[in-house]
Structure 1
Amino acid sequence: MQVVATLSLKGGVGKTTVALGLAGAAQRHGVSTLVVDLDPQANATTALDPEPTTATVADVLDDPRPGVLRRAIAPSGWGEGLDVLVGAEQTERHNHPDPGIKQLHRLDRALQRLAAGAEDDGEPDGDDGDGTEDRYRLVIVDCPPSLGQLTRSALSAADRAILVADPTMFSVSGVQRAFDAVQTERERSNARLQPLGVLVNRVRPRNSEHDFRIGELRELFGPLVFNTVVPDRSAVQQAQGACLPIQSWDTPGAREVSAVFTTLLGRVLRSGRTRTAS
C-alpha cells in the first residue's frame, strides 16, 4: 500500500481537484484506491458521492480500531475499485496546532489496519490488527490548507507528498512552506516521506503571468516542478458538479486534463516501486 498526500498551504489552488483527478486515473487503470478526506470542508467526499456511513474520519481519529475504520469507509459513487474514508466538519476538532505524538500517529495506525482480514478485537489504541494483505494499492489523503494536526497526521502517514500550486504571485511562498513542512515531518517522525513534486494547477495557455510564475517556481525548485501542468478547463468544475470523474467527462478539455492525471499516476506508482525495492 502506497500513501500519497495532496498538500497546499495556500487555499484555493485546487488540491482537492488533484486528489480527485489522481483517484479517477487510478480507478480507470484498475488500481484499488482509498481517498481519505482530511479536509473539514469535505469537498472530496461530496464529489465522490459515497454511500452513507455511521462514522467518519473524525471518529477514526478519536479511535482508530478496525471496527470504527470499517464504519467510516464506503464505496464511492464513481464505481468499483474506489472507496472513501469520508470527511466531516467535525474533523476540525482534531486540527490542534501542536498535537502530541499519540494524536499525530493515529491516522498512520488506522491506515496500517487496512490489511484484509483485520479483526476488531477490542484491542486498546496502539495495537495492530492481524491482517497480512493490503486491501488498497493506493491511498490518497486530501489535506486541509493549513499546517495543524490534520496535515501533519497525513505527512506522518504518507510515503509521498504532491505539492499543489497555482500560477499566481502567492504560489512561491505557498510551495516553500509546504516543502518545509514535508522536510520537517520527515525529520521528526517519518523518514520514508519524500516530496513527489510540485504540480501547477489551473494553467492557461499563452498567459504571460502564468508563464512567468511557472518559470519562477522552476528557478527556485528546479526538477521538483513537474513538466506537465494541469490546464484550466471548465470540464473540471462540470465533472465535479455532476459527481463524476474527469476521466468520464467526454470533452476535449476533459481528455486533456485526464492525460495529465494519467501521467501523474504513473509517476506515483513508479515512486512506490522504487521505495519498495530499495
Structure 2
Amino acid sequence: MREAFRGVRRFSDFHGRLGIPKAVLTKRLNHLVESGMFVLEEYQRVPQRYEYRLTEMGLDFWRVLLTMWDWEVSWDPDPNDMRLRLEHLDCGHAIRPVSSCSHCAQPLQLADISRRPGPGQGTEPMLPPRSRRRMNASSVKSPGEHALRSQIIQSVGDRWTPMVMGCIFRGSRRFNEIEAELYIPPYILGQRLEELVGLELIERRRYQDSPPRDEYLLTIKGLAQHHYTLQLMRWGDRWLAGDKGPPQIMIHKACSHAFYADLRCSHCGEVLERERVKLF
C-alpha cells in the first residue's frame, strides 16, 4: 500500500521496490484486489499486462498509512536516518501529522476519549479462522528488509494482533476478558500477548498470586499507537460498517461531541488533505 501511494502500479516495480518473493507478492496483490483496495487495469494487450491502481477505498487509507509512518518515526527510528519525510504542500514545510478532534480541532489524547455503543454494535462480522505462516525476520535478506522488520508491521500486520491491541485499548486487560471478546483460540492469544510484550507495546502485571494471574497494560509506546487506531476506525466506519452504521461512537471529553480524528499539519495547523501531502 505504501508503494502504491508513491506511484508504483506494476508487478515488476512492486517486486523491485519490496524484494519479497513473487508468490507472496502475487497473493498480497490479489487479496488487495479482492478486498476492493486495488483495481486491475490493462496497460498492454500483447502480451496482456495489467497494473494495480488504488480505488477510492484504497486511496482513503492514506491517513492510516501516515499515522503508521508517524509512529515509526518516534518509536522505531532508522539508525541510518533513511526514513521518509512528509511535506505539506500548502505551507511548504516538513511536518508531522497531528490527530485532532473533527469538532473542536484540539489535539487528541487517549485519556480524552470515551466511547458509547454505536448503531452497528454486535453486527460486525468475525473472520473465519485461518492458519498463518510466520516469517522469520532474521532470515530476510532483501531491499524490503527494513519494511518487514518494522515494529509497526509486526504489531498490526496479522489479523489477530491489532484486534488484541484494540481490546486492551478498550479496557480489557485480562486473558479471559480478551479471549471472550474476540473468540480467539487460547494458544494464539498467548502467542500474541508474548509478542506484544516483547515489542514493549504492553507490559505484564501480576494481580493475583494464588493461582498466579496476570493482566496486560499498555506501555507509553503502546499508547502512542492510538493515533493509528483512530484512523483505522475512521476508515473502517466508512468502508466496512455497512448500512447499520459504526459499532462504536467516539466522544471527545473536552468538547463533549462525537468526533472522528482529523490529521492536522504540525506547522500551520490546517487539516491535511491527501492531494496536498507528499512523502519524500
Q: TM-score, normalised by structure 1?
A: 0.26
Q: TM-score, normalised by structure 2?
A: 0.26
Query: Which structure shows the bigger proportion of residues in helix conformation?
Result: 1
Query: Which structure shows the bigger proportion of residues in strand conformation?
Result: 2
Structure with greater Cα Rg: 2
Q: Which structure exhibits the higher relative contact order, with contacts defined as CA atoms closer than 8 Å and separated by 6 or more residues?
A: 2
